[in-house]
């Protein structure tokens, strides 16, 4: 609950900033996040999440919110199965360390940016166990997430795509410190 409240306050704070000058608002409705996770046989597999984000850029500073939801993971059979979904909210802050504008002619000038980012957030997991047709749902405590990484973005007109590599840590993860890869696609507006 506290975590959700923090995000709501932050959202209004970001909204108030938009009213100022020379900002860029980036909306990412399509994103795919992958991170390593331990499996039962002591191997590691990539776990995939749907990723949604909103970012605000002011001069060289970047801030934003993101929501990640794991693809449903179902194990078991018709009589007994376990359905696990993990979700996380993250607050992002970053700094543009490199920027380059290309000129391809025909008034097309793609913007390439490299941002160093840090993130702080919370994650929880919902486990739904179905036993002989009866469902039982449990939600975990919210565990903190902390991480840092690099974000590259390429903006052409209103369209923007980004790639990220992160190192994140949370008690929710196994291993608790893990690598995350992220690709996303969206739109950007300048003010």
Report yes or no: 150 and 165 within 8 Å, Cβ to Cβ: yes
DSSP 77-136: -SSEEEEEEEEEEEEEEEEEEEEEE---STT---EEEEEEEEEEEEEEEEEEEEETTEEE
Give the nearer residue to other proteins in terms of CB position, either 25 or 88. Answer: 88
Q: Under the rule (CB under 8 A), what is the footprint of other proteins?
A: 38-42, 73, 75-82, 84, 95, 97-98, 116, 118, 124-125, 127, 129, 131-132, 134, 136, 138-141, 144, 146-148, 167, 169-171, 173-177
Tell me whether strands 177-190 and 134-139 are parallel, antiparallel or unpaired: unpaired
Give the integer Cα–Cα distance in Å for 70 and 173. 12
The least distance separating other proteins from the CB of residue 15, rounded to whole angstroms, comes to 27
According to DSSP, residue 69 is labeled E
The least distance separating other proteins from the CB of residue 16, rounded to whole angstroms, comes to 26
Give the nearer residue to other proteins in terms of CB position, either 30 or 95. Answer: 95
Give the nearer residue to other proteins in terms of CB position, either 25 or 172. Answer: 172
The least distance separating other proteins from the CB of residue 110, rounded to whole angstroms, comes to 20
């Amino acid at each position: 609950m506290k975590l959700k409240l923090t995000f709501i306050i932050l959202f209004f704070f970001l909204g108030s900033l938009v009213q100022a000058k020379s900002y860029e608002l980036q909306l990412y409705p399509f994103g795919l996040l992958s991170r390593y996770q331990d499996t039962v046989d002591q191997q590691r597999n990539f776990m995939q999440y749907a990723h949604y984000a909103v970012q605000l850029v002011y001069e060289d500073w970047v801030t934003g919110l993101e929501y990640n939801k794991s693809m449903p993971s179902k194990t078991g059979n018709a009589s007994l199965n376990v359905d696990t979904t993990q979700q996380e909210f993250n607050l992002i802050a970053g700094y543009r360390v490199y920027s380059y504008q290309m000129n391809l002619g025909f008034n097309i000038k793609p913007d390439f940016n490299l941002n160093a980012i840090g993130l702080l957030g919370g994650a929880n997991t919902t486990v739904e166990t179905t036993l002989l047709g009866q469902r039982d749902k449990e939600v975990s405590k919210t565990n903190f997430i902390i991480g840092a990484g690099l974000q590259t973005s390429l903006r052409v007109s209103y369209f923007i795509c980004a790639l990220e590599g992160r190192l994140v840590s949370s008690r929710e993860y196994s291993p608790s410190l893990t690598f995350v890869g992220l690709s996303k696609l969206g739109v950007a507006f300048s003010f």
